[in-house]
Amino acid sequence: MRISTTVLGIFLSMAMHAQTHQIEKHNGQKIDVNFIKFQNNLLLYSPVGSTVEYKISKYAVAYLHDKKTSHSEMITPKVMLNSKKDFEKVTVIEPEHSIGLDSKKELVVYEGINKGGTNFFINEQSIRKIKYKVAEMGFPFVVIVDKNNGKFRVIAYNY
């Protein structure tokens, strides 16, 4: 009897101390979660009633709502691209920061080499060319997967 009362008390206290939050993604999806922490541009959480830890990129999350205090925290603003002129709004992210983003499109962009250009100048021009091409297609995020002999293989992401 004592053991069952203790176990019941533990379960009730766990339920009362659970960090119930709601993640609101930029695509409108809302997920009820137990928020754990931020780590390296990733939001760590576990679904309500589970102990499994999941990750989602901060770029996919618009708001984190705390249900206990009714406090909302804006994580990232939504990036809206209207034309290819908005290429500066495109963000180059690491592959692990694409968790939770959708609409993948793989592209190949060739590096244009100017005579007498330095490696730094060539790299900056290539990144700009990648951003310009991705913005033209309406994708706010890009991951550079591979660079080989002046050819960049990239993956573009949307919300």
| pLDDT digit string, tens, across residues 106-123 | 988 887 666 665 555 567
Q: Which of 103, 97, 88 is nearest to 158 (CA)?
A: 103
Residue pLDDT, tens place only, 30-63: 999 998 898 999 999 998 888 899 999 999 999 9
Q: Which of 61, 147, 131, 38 is nearest to 93 (CA)?
A: 131
Contact 78, 48 (CB under 8 A): no
What CA–CA distance (Å, rounded) separates 96 from 111? Answer: 25
pLDDT of the residue at 17:
47
Contact 9, 25 (CB under 8 A): no
The pTM of the full predicted model, rounded to 2 decimals, is 0.77
Give residue for tokens 């499109």. Answer: 105
- Percentage of the residues of the chain whose pLDDT score is greater than 90: 54
Element (H, E) at 76: none
Residue pLDDT, tens place only, 72-96: 999 999 999 988 899 999 999 999 9
Backbone angles phi, psi at 141, to 5 degrees: -135, 145
pLDDT of the residue at 147:
86
Helices (H) and strands (E) in the chain, counts: 2, 10
Which has more pLDDT, 2 or 145? 145
The token duo for 75 is: 């994580």
| 3-state DSSP assignment of residue 12 | helix
- Percentage of the residues of the chain whose pLDDT score is greater than 70: 81
- Tell me the mean pLDDT in the region 10-14: 49
Distances (CA, A) of 8 to 3, 14, 15, 25, 93: 8, 10, 11, 35, 46
